[in-house]
A and B are shown apart, each in its own frame.
Chain A
Amino acid sequence: MHGASVSLRELGKRYGCVRAVDRVAIDIRPGEFLSLLGPSGSGKTTLLMMVAGFELPDSGAIWVGDRDITLVAPNRRDIGMVFQRYALFPHMTVAENIAFPLRMRRFSKKKTMQAVADALALVQLGGFEARLPAQLSGGQQQRVAVARALVFEPPVLLMDEPLGALDKKLREQMQIEIKRLQQSLGITVLYVTHDQEEALTMSDRIAVMRDGRLEQIGSPAELYDAPATSFVADFIGKMNFLEGECLGQDARCFEITIGRSSTIVVDRHLASHEALPQRGERVRLAVRPERIELTPHKNQKLSGIVESVIFVGSSRTFLVRLAGGELLHVQSQTTRESYSPSQGERVGLSIPSDCVHVFPQAEC
């Protein structure tokens, strides 16, 4: 089975005056795992419903491979879907549930039985054929839903927060299994989640949505290391934000003050907005906690006082209060040699110039 490409072309959908999906264009490659990530209400479900055919778009088009499916009836689309609460048919056994799409396609009895057995083996649920959905645990129901969506070998699989109802441990296990399945089958997956960690773990690429618009699309590493907007910077991973003012610039970098006394030097190419900040313009800086380094206090440009130390196993998080009152999260690996100040200690902070993202202040 091979995945098909999916092309969303300037898709738009409004409900009354709410633009649920606002001209979203995404090209998904065959066999790619693409996550739609965004807070609740950002239009992810609406987008998925349009791909599945339960909502008709107001504008744009949806192509799967070389077929325009924008207006095709949902039952003619051949797109698998796993619903948030699984939507298993409660009056049918596991086997009947999985056989359902094959019956709709008038497969022979023999072929159906074989396909159902294969699908159950795929999700490691052999022997559960005769159970009713109510007799399965949440994780097992989830697997049946996946088996049912895959049994008719669709080239594309849609999943709407499929792991939302599971507890953390099971969720992590299912993430790995779904990813493994997707890779071994080569199927194209469009995956909706509001959990950024989940998106980072599973996806080839992530499309970040906000208020119906596509905010940024890229690989997990791209989004993490080069967020295009402060929204993406905030939404993905942990991030410290600081207010500052541009002091001046040269060919390579520019200098920004924080508060009254401290200044930071930032690499020019990391400024996110096209128009670089002018002298005197207020900007928003973003730094990842693990990029900041703590050193013993010795007249550094940037210093602060450790307010608390949080032990998280492999690493430590220090909450450092700057002179201007800002609170920074600093994360460092717990190794024997690493500098580890204690609470109340004054420390110096160094932030490499290529680790600071600059965003215009007006954006938020």
Chain B
Amino acid sequence: MAEADLALAERVANVRSRAGLDVARILVILGLGLVLFFLILPTLIVVPMSVGTASYISFPPEGFTLRWYIAYFRDPSWMSATWFSLRIAGVTTLAATVIGTLAAIALVRGRLPGKELLQAFTIAPLVVPHIVIAVAFYLTFAPLGLTGNFYGFAIAHTMLAVPYVVITVGAALQRFDPALELAALNCGATRLQAFFHVVLPNILPGVAAGAVFAFLASFDEATVAFFISGIEGKTITRKMFEDIDFNLTPVIAAVSTVLTLISLTLMGTIEIARRRSGAGSDH
């Protein structure tokens, strides 16, 4: 019997290699590997560039130094841009999360005339090219003195970020069983109590995810920031844009690494939370 099994194993191996590991398959795997490499390379490349000693971009980077990070943290113009961006992102997160959550509740659970149209309007800022929004915003808000300062940015970025909150919270509300809210009402809760005690705790992961999206939508936003930044009020993205365009120092690599770490940490946390909660169904 054992001999027969060995013979079978051999034949199985033959079939596998015929059906499985022929040249075409190797080529497919190789191609796939190349595409994945192409995808991940630019994110990975900035890390070694940020610790190389040479003051111009060279490859492979030589030596190891943290001086570009130190330069970043010591440079007042980088620091002020960073703080400016963080403050805007903070306010944007707060405003977009509140406004977006309220709207999502109405859009998913409310009786509204023209709901379809409203939903289309809500996602319009995602579809309209940001360059058009940027130019339009500048045209209207510059005369009001609302460019190059905190308030202009807060308005613009909240507008850009709010669709993400509506979509994320809307999806969470859709997964939420309305019968639970009815049960709360049946137990004697008012509409408001039912919302805070039953609905909100259940959609909280969605709200949190929406808040993170809003934060990153503001913090990483570059096109509108390029147009409405001023000499004083300048975001980190605008500062990066300028430096990339005019003087390509390894400090940019250090800033890039920091930005990437922030984004990856935030998004990675959401992704892990999403998988853990089992809601990791669709993207």
Contacts and interface: CB of A to CB of B under 8 A. Distances in A.
Instruction: State if A and B touch, Cβ cutoff 8 Å.
Output: yes
Contacts of A170: none
A56 B1 contact: no
B175 interface: no
Contacts of B11: 70-71
A61 interface: yes
Nearest to B2: A59
B19 A70 contact: no
Nearest to A72: B15
B9 interface: yes
Nearest to A23: B1
A281 interface: no
Chain B interface secondary structure, helix, strand, loop or mixed?
helix
Given A56-B15, A71-B15, A10 B1 contact: yes
Contacts of B12: 56-58, 71
Interface string A1-26: 00000000010100000000000000
A56 B5 contact: no
Contacts of A61: 8
B19 A60 contact: no
A130 interface: no
B5 to A, nearest CB: 4
Interface in A52-81: 56-61, 70-71, 73
A57 B11 CA distance: 11
B191 interface: no
Contacts, number: 25
Contacts of A12: 5
B16 interface: yes
Interface in B1-25: 1, 4-5, 8-9, 11-12, 15-16, 19
A58 B15 contact: no
B4 to A, nearest CB: 8
B5 A73 contact: no
A56 B4 CA distance: 15
A70 B7 CA distance: 12
Contacts of A70: 8, 11
Nearest to A59: B5
Contacts of A60: 5, 8
A60 B4 CA distance: 8
A57 B19 contact: no
Give the interface centre of A56, A60, A70 by most chain B CB atoms within 10 Å: A56
Contacts of B15: 56, 71
23 contacts: A10-B1, A12-B5, A56-B12, A56-B15, A56-B16, A57-B8, A57-B12, A58-B5, A58-B8, A58-B9, A58-B12, A59-B1, A59-B4, A59-B5, A59-B9, A60-B5, A60-B8, A61-B8, A70-B8, A70-B11, A71-B12, A71-B15, A73-B19
Interface of A: 10, 12, 56-61, 70-71, 73
